[in-house]
Amino acid sequence: MAEETRKNNPNAVEDISMYKKQSQFVQAWDRLRKNKVAIAGLVILVILILGGIFAEQLAPYGYDDQDVMRRFTAPCREFPFGTDNLGRCIYSRILYGARISLLIGFVATGMGAVAGTILGAFAGYYGSKTDNIIMRFCDVLQAIPSLLLAIAIAAALGSGLFNMMLAISIGAIPRYARTVRASILTVKDQEFIEAAHAIGASDARIILKHIFPNCLAPIIVQVTLGVAGSIINAASLSFIGLGVQAPTAEWGSMLSAGRQYVRDYWFVVMFPGLAIMTTILSLNLFGDGLRDALDPKLK
Amino acid sequence: MAEILRVEHLKKYFKTPAGLLHAVDDVSFSIEKGKTLGVVGESGCGKSTLGRTILHLLDSTDGKIYFEGQDITNVTKSQLKELRRNMQIIFQDPFSSLNPRMCVSEIIQEPLEIYKAYSDKKEMLRRVAELMNTVGLAPSLAGSYPHELDGGRRQRIGVARALAMNPKFIVCDEPVSALDVSIQAQILNLMQDLQEELGLTYVFITHNLSVVKHISDDILVMYLGKVVEYSSGEALFEHQYHPYTKALLAAIAIPDIDRQNERILLKGEISSPVNPRPGCRFAPRCEYCTAICRKKAPVMEEIVPGHFVACHHVRKINGMSEEK
């Protein structure tokens, strides 16, 4: 068809702006909206975040209000999720805990993912010596078990929320760096990268516009899984006293503190565990949907 | 006619674990404006490397490249960017040469963005529409993604991208070998039309001899990084002097049932371009090979005016009087 148009009327230039679709983000959002499972994940995630933000309004008790006479109360009307070994309302603590846990999950993962992605991008794109230096650095980090590394860093920096997030994120860097480097290596040798060089695109433009969008899928998957890992690692650090200090509510530490009572009182660990599980599940659902939505090939 | 590109003794060696790979070894030629130089040879003979080295997608090892009389062998980054306005490339595989995450109009407008050719977005889109029209793409495809289109249309996108900044010179790296035969003809005709309209100069790299006959003014025959024969296309198809070219052209399939072609079958495999032995590269497979061929590399000689051949025995093979 098009070929004929050209021959019949070589000077016809139609306005193509009407055929141009909206920006990539609008398109991706359109595709995401059609994916019910992903939207369900997003909704749950938003509810959890809102729960954390409005904890003061939603929680019937404060996170450190104790009622020692009523410790280990099973879930009832007064305490929807029961009370723990100090008689604190577990429901209220989960709401307050969402603040810290989600913060740790997102910020620690985010820092690790950003640092890892940048390092991996440099290693994969420039290759040779740069690659060698960065990847050997990652080898060193990976040689130490991530939790031990986090403990060492947290101990060196001192306890506290930010130091803990930093400790966790550093341990996560090699994973992201490796993932990004591997996918950049596969994309880098394709002809459209050479084509971009040929039309005079700068290195920054090639990395940001051509390589990065084509490497996004594995990063998203890693990040959504990484959030869960960060929350669990934070719990371990809190458990040995390097993270959030008691009585501050945090899902991981609630889980580990309740562990010794699990035989007699299921609800002490059940609800914090469910909270973590719901977060991770919703993140994975949303992450999968996001990955698909960002790929124009999957419509 | 004015000369647009001249290449002198161009060399491109790659370092490999096994040794130095001589991908392009001492290649010289020149092209006049508006003409097409066909580069033929079998896979791995350095055709694509030659094209990429001219465009500085690969750094040359040695030799000189002149574009419009200027030495462009060593250029700075900003000079290179300017140069690429004028020198473009069309790639072989339309399936991997387009970014799968960009739609047609984004791909075509990218060079315009890079050179900040238009400050007004509307005008830029107009130019994109114009380009799409030039290469015969329907305007309604502007928002499509490459994976939604067939090979021919994808290759048209590649052509439009190369044309965006009005280049003078285009390296076509096997632009039709990944396409169906019917689409090959479409793209070839399109490229010839464009050459006429816009006065383009092509270096046309291919292993398809029918294609090269169809499109080229001059032909460069390469074997293992070396030029073995270089002449005008007509003269080459009329008479071949180098034993390799003879064998190559004898292999063209002619769709005629009564005609019995005399095939020249080459013995053996193409030898390795890594640390090549001294002497003629073609010697191990050549039926006329003698001691001198294994010792000394032949130089290009003008056998008849405008017809260059690199072979020690060219006159003997072709029954011409020995004159040196």
DSSP letters spanning B78-110 = HHHHHHHHHEEEE-S-TTTSS-TTS-HHHHHHH
Nearest Cα to Cα of residue A187 among A209, A161, A158, A164:
A209
Nearest Cα to Cα of residue B161 among A63, A195, A72:
A195
CA distances from A6 to B103, B123, B135, B136 (A): 21, 21, 8, 6
Taking the CA atoms of B211, B213, B219 and B220 in sequence, report the sign of the dihedral they define: positive
Task: Report the chain B residue with the minimal C-alpha distance to residue A193.
Answer: B97
Of A12, A19, A191, the CB nearest to B96: A191
Residue A178 pLDDT class (50, 70, 90 cuts): very high
Round to whole Å and give the CA distance between B55 and A193: 15
Asked if B97 and A191 touch (Cβ cutoff 8 Å), the reply is yes
Q: With 0-12 CB in 10 A as exposed, 13-18 as middle and 19+ as buried, what is B14?
A: middle
B260 φ/ψ angles, rounded to the nearest 5 degrees:
-105, 110
B186: helix, coil or strand? helix
| pLDDT in the model for residue A8 | 44
| pLDDT in the model for residue B233 | 85
Mean pLDDT within A253-276: 86
Single-letter residue type at B95: F
Nearest Cα to Cα of residue A234 among A215, A250, A211, A217:
A250
Helix (H) or strand (E) holding B203: strand B201-206
B65: helix, coil or strand? strand
Model confidence pLDDT, tens digit, residues B24-66: 888 888 898 888 999 998 888 888 899 999 988 888 888 889 9
Chain B from 110 to 139: CB within 8 A of any A CB: 110-111, 114-115, 122, 125-126, 128-130, 132-134, 136-139
- Distance of residue B138 Cα from the nearest chain A Cα, in angstroms: 5
Task: State yes or no: pLDDT of B153 exceeds 50.
Answer: yes
Round to whole Å and give the CA distance between A84 and A93: 10
Interchain CB contact of A156 with B (< 8 Å): no
Nearest Cα to Cα of residue B37 among B201, B199, B225:
B201
HEC readout, chain A = CHHHHHHHCCCCCCCCCCCCCCCHHHHHHHHHHHCHHHHHHHHHHHHHHHHHHCHHHHCCCCCCCCCHHHCCCCCCCCCCCCECCCCCEHHHHHHHHHHHHHHHHHHHHHHHHHHHHHHHHHHHHHCHHHHHHHHHHHHHHHHCCHHHHHHHHHHHHCCCHHHHHHHHHHHHHHHHHHHHHHHHHHHHCCHHHHHHHHCCCCHHHHHHHHHHHHHHHHHHHHHHHHHHHHHHHHHHHHHCCCCCCCCCCCHHHHHHHHHHHCCCCCHHHHHHHHHHHHHHHHHHHHHHHHHHHCCCCCC
Model confidence pLDDT, tens digit, residues B223-281: 888 888 998 888 888 888 888 888 888 877 677 777 666 677 777 777 788 888 888 88
Residue B116 pLDDT class (50, 70, 90 cuts): confident
Interchain CB contact of B194 with A (< 8 Å): no
Contacts of B47 (CB under 8 A, 6+ apart): B39, B40, B41, B173, B174, B205, B206, B207, B222
CA distances from B316 to A270, B229, B230 (A): 94, 16, 19
| pLDDT in the model for residue A43 | 94
A236 φ/ψ angles, rounded to the nearest 5 degrees:
-65, -45
Chain A from 7 to 46: CB within 8 A of any B CB: 10, 12-17, 19-21, 24
Single-letter residue type at A232: I
User: Which of B55, B58, B93, B99 is the mutation pick for testing A, counting most A CBs within 10 A?
Assistant: B99
Residue A19 pLDDT class (50, 70, 90 cuts): low
Least confident of A2-16, B142-156, B179-193, B288-302: A2-16
Contacts of A183 (CB under 8 A, 6+ apart): A124, A214, A215, A217, A218, A219
Interface touch A16/B125, C-beta < 8 Å: yes
Q: Dig out the tokens for B129 from the structure.
A: 């529409």
Interchain CB contact of A2 with B (< 8 Å): yes
Interface touch B57/A198, C-beta < 8 Å: yes
Contacts of B296 (CB under 8 A, 6+ apart): B278, B279, B280, B312
The residues that bridge with B229 in the sheet, in sequence order, are B221, B309
B86 CB-side CA count, 13 A? 13
The residues that bridge with A11 in the sheet, in sequence order, are none
Q: Dig out the tokens for B143 from the structure.
A: 């928002």
Give me the interface pTM, i.e. the ipTM: 0.82
Nearest Cα to Cα of residue A104 among A280, A235, A277:
A235
Nearest Cα to Cα of residue B100 among B183, B139, B157, B55:
B157
Interchain CB contact of A6 with B (< 8 Å): yes
Of A16, A195, A297, the CB nearest to B100: A297
The residue with greater pLDDT, B275 or B131, is B131
B264 φ/ψ angles, rounded to the nearest 5 degrees:
-105, 115
Task: State yes or no: pLDDT of A110 exceeds 70.
Answer: yes
